[in-house]
Amino acid sequence: MAKSDNINDIIDHVLYSQEDIQEMCKRLGKQLTEDYAGKDPLVVGVLKGAVFFMTDLVRQMDVKMQNDFMDVSSYGDGFESSGKVRLDIDVQADVKDRDVLLVEDIVDTGHTLKFMKDLLTERGAKSVKCCALLNKTERREDDVVVDYYGAKVANEFVVGYGLDYLNEYRNIPFIGVLKPEVIQANLNR
Ligand code: 5GP
Ligand code: MG
Ligand code: MG
């Protein structure tokens, strides 16, 4: 029963409600409005997970900005990091001399974020910072700074509000912990 139309069959418990998430967006948006005032940042959402967070976050930022997207992947088998990062879709904008703000759904090992920060810095960005909705600090393997984040999470696999398991469950409006048996059912297949 890896796939189900019923949320209760796959979610163990809710970690952050829709209201909790909107509060995080408001708080981060206020801080970013202060920090990026007059900087005309390029705000880059990381596909696909961060699209949901990005749209809510930037509408809480009262600053002139441009928006772009990039797609980077490192999660080969669904929930364990392969450690190898691949650039799937590049940003369209020229990042040279720009203040770039990367918007991520979650930073786990840090491999993906390190890869993107290094890439954009090499291209001559003036600054590259990251705003992640969730920060899974326990599993960090790379020495990389998550400049802004909504909340710290423990070492559990979460889905919803953009976060997927095998490219599903992104449209769940809250963030929840996936039932271990959903993952187990897939491993046993
Ligand atoms: P990192 O390179 O930091 O290990 O991995 C970052 C990416 O791993 C995230 O953008 C996300 O796609 C995925 N990821 C890490 N932890 C989780 C999690 O708990 N749930 C989901 N759905 N994805 C995760
Ligand atoms: Mg991602
Ligand atoms: Mg994923």
Q: How do the domains of the chain map onto residue ranges? A: 18-153
Looking at the CA of 110, name the nearest ligand: 1
CA of 113 to the centre of ligand 2 (A): 9
Residue 119 DSSP SS3: helix
Q: What is the pTM of this model?
A: 0.93
List residues with catalytic annotation: 108
Residue 12 per-residue DSSP state: E
Span 148-161, pLDDT tens digits: 999 999 999 999 99
Helix axes 18-35, 51-58, angle to 10 degrees: 60
CB atoms within 10 A of CB 112: 23
> CA 67, 72, 78, 81 torsion: positive or negative?
negative
Pocket perturbation via mutation, ligand 1, pick of 10, 47, 108, 131 by most ligand atoms within 8 A of CB: 108
Q: Among the atoms of ligand 1, which is closest to the Cα of residue 111?
A: 2
pLDDT digits (tens, 9 = 90+) for 108-140: 999 999 999 999 999 999 999 999 999 999 999
Residues facing 66 on adjacent strands? 42
User: CA-to-CA distance for 128 and 120, rounded, in angstroms?
Assistant: 7
pLDDT over threshold 60, residue 78 = no
- Helix (H) / strand (E) element for 29: namely helix 18-35
Q: Are 72 and 46 in contact (CB under 8 A)?
A: yes
CATH fold of 18-153 reads Rossmann fold (3.40.50)
Average pLDDT over residues 164-187: 91
Q: Is the pLDDT of residue 55 over 80?
A: yes
